[in-house]
Amino acid sequence: MHPIYGFGPPHSLLYLMFFGFFGAVISILVLIPYWFIFKKAGFSPWLALLMFLPIINLFLLYFLAFARWNVVPANLVYPAPPPVPYRPPA
């Protein structure tokens, strides 16, 4: 016997599959930027998984904002720019 207020268990299963799928997609889309931010800041990218926990995510954002980022200086990664005016080699 179906409940009076809804369409029954098959209808609930469709809702669960629909919102479960889009919930997983949105969760992955939220996770990707945090993953790259933590990686670029020199921390473990696995810390991005903590962003799904309600109160811990606020503490983690403040930690990320005020922590010292262990990054390599740009002059060690990129070569020096060419002199101005630039004269290409002949």
The conformational region for residue 87 under phi > 0 = left, psi -120 to 50 = alpha, else beta, is: beta
Residue 5, token pair as written in the block: 């207020």
User: The whole model's pTM is what?
Assistant: 0.62
Rounded to an integer, the average pLDDT of 73-89 is 74
Q: Which residue has the higher pLDDT, 6 or 70?
A: 70
The answer to whether residue 82 is domain-embedded is no
- Cβ distance 63 to 55 under 8 Å? no
pLDDT for position 50: 92
- Asked, for residue 30, whether it belongs to a domain, the answer is yes
What are the pLDDT digits (tens) for 56-71?
Answer: 999 999 999 998 888 7
Burial string for 46-68 (b: 16+ CB within 10 Å, else e) reads ebbeebeeeeeeeebeeebeeee
Question: Is 25 among the domain residues?
Answer: yes
Q: Give the number of domains in the chain.
A: 1
Residue 44 included in any domain: yes
Residue 42's pLDDT band (boundaries 50, 70, 90)?
Answer: confident
- Kindly state whether residue 31 falls inside one of the protein's structural domains: yes
On whether residue 76 sits in a domain, the answer given is no
2 falls within a domain: no
Residue 89 belongs to a domain = no
Which structural domain range is residue 40 located in?
Answer: 9-67
